[in-house]
Amino acid sequence: MQSAALLRAQLEVSLAERAPSAFTLKVRQAPELLPTGTPGLDVLLGGGIPRGGITEITGTSTTGRTSLALSILARATGQGAVCAWVDVQDALDPETASAYGVQLERLLWLRAGRRSIGMQQPPPASPAGSHNEKTRSHPYNAHEATQHTGGGHPRHEHRSMGHAVTQLFHSPGGTLQAKRSGSTERLIELAAIGPRCAEPQPHRRKLEQISADRLPPRRGQTVLDGRANHRIEELIPEQRQFFSSGRPDGKAAQRGNPKSPLGQALSATDLLLQTGGFRAIVLDMGDVRADHVMRTPTSYWYRFRLLAEQTQLALILLTSNPCAKSCASLVLRCYRNDENSPWRGDREKALFTTLRYAVAVERRRNEEIGPLHKKPVARTTTEWQARAPWAR
């Protein structure tokens, strides 16, 4: 035994330049934790999500993924740390984030994908009946709509009144000023300005049908449900841009051909991880189809895990299905608890008030376990609820 130990020590010394402590088991330090802001989940996780690793928050729509991520960021920015939100589909609502307590000046928001329409742009929609045969025009015109039952929503109270009054009296295009100046043309113009029409729905071109068995297999195809199993050719252009580059990193993209939103988001996340100094980075892929996310090369997640470990930040992935595989330190599955209705009041005057969520821990890698023993993880669940802003 002594000779074996001696031999081992000699080998370790000779290999020290290439691999320090080659035969010594590395003692894993317990990671620092970032509280989630939901007491039940913090208790379940032993304090929060781990820093220096990847945490996946998965689930379908209305399962509390975004709420959970915002709650984590609210705690982090509240402590004075700097965080980032990488938005693949530009879905973050800053108003909601502010309601959660996220300090927006400490949150770097990266909006990949489509260009924003800006707050002055009209809401797009197709002309009535052009999109769907069942679509019908609303029976109320603008005048009748003001007579409709149902008043203003509680969430819209006492906002921008000061600005409205100022604009009313001082704006060059204000109605009163036009009346005062006697500009009939201006009044006619004001009356004639139509509502902002919606964006027309892009025309879908029918292409040749190819049977599914003739298509090459794709990574992540097994997680597709039947509803989402479209072919690329059938997608509308906005969806098709996820395939615009051969790889999500956009290496196959030609000059002048921008990267896909997912590729942009991954590159942006990479840059942020290399910069360091952030407490948490949320990569929001919540609305991206599962097969697109699954097609991301695994090397991305390995690199992200390594960089997160070096910079001691919590990388949070919001996805519909787990995608980081073994690179994820923690995987949380979100559900919606259907036992209680989120609606209050009768059918005629219902009010959306509360959403109840459940979170299950699917996998944890940073538990206090022995160096050579793998402890089976039991599925554990906790519940929490989120209220609508007007119901608090």
Dihedral (C-alpha) 116, 237, 69, 46: value to the nearest 10 degrees?
-160
Question: In the complex, what is the shortest distance from the CB of residue 5 to another protein, in angstroms, rounded to a whole number?
Answer: 42
What lies within 8 Å, CB to CB, of 130 at 6+ separation is 200, 201
Q: Name the nearest CA neighbour of 49 among 372, 359, 378.
A: 359
Closest CA to 296 of 271, 334, 327: 327
Q: Closest distance between another protein and the C-beta of residue 118, in Å?
A: 7
Look at the alpha carbons of 237, 240, 245, 249 in this order and tell me if their dihedral is positive or negative.
positive
- For the chain, the C-alpha Rg in angstroms (whole number) is 27
**Shortest Cβ 339–another protein spacing (Å):** 13
Whichever of 267 and 325 has its CB closer to another protein, that residue is: 267
DSSP 123-163: PP-PPTTTS-TT----S--HHHHHTSS----GGGTT-SHHH
Distance CA 263, CA 244 (A): 10
Shortest Cβ 377–another protein spacing (Å): 26
Task: Give the H/E segment covering residue 75.
Answer: helix 65-78
- Would you say 128 or 306 has its CB closer to another protein? 128
DSSP one-letter code for 48: S
Tokens of 167: 């604009």
Residue number with CB closer to another protein (92 or 365): 92
Cβ 378 to another protein, closest distance in Å? 26
Q: Would you say 13 or 91 has its CB closer to another protein?
A: 91
**Closer by beta carbon to another protein, 15 or else 122:** 122
The smaller minimum CB distance to another protein, of residues 289 and 295, is found at 289
Query: At closest approach, how far in Å is the CB of 318 from another protein?
Result: 9
Q: Which two tokens stand for residue 7?
A: 């031999």
Contact 52, 309 (CB under 8 A): yes
Residue closer to another protein, measured from CB, 14 or 181? 181
Euclidean distance between CA atoms 245 and 7, whole angstroms: 53
Closest CA to 83 of 314, 351, 383: 314
Q: Length of the chain, please?
A: 392
Q: How far apart are CA 69 and CA 57, in angstroms?
A: 8
In the complex, least distance from residue 4 CB atom to another protein, rounded to whole angstroms: 45
Nearer to another protein, 72 or 365 (CB): 72
**Cβ of residue 190: shortest distance to another protein, in angstroms?**
7
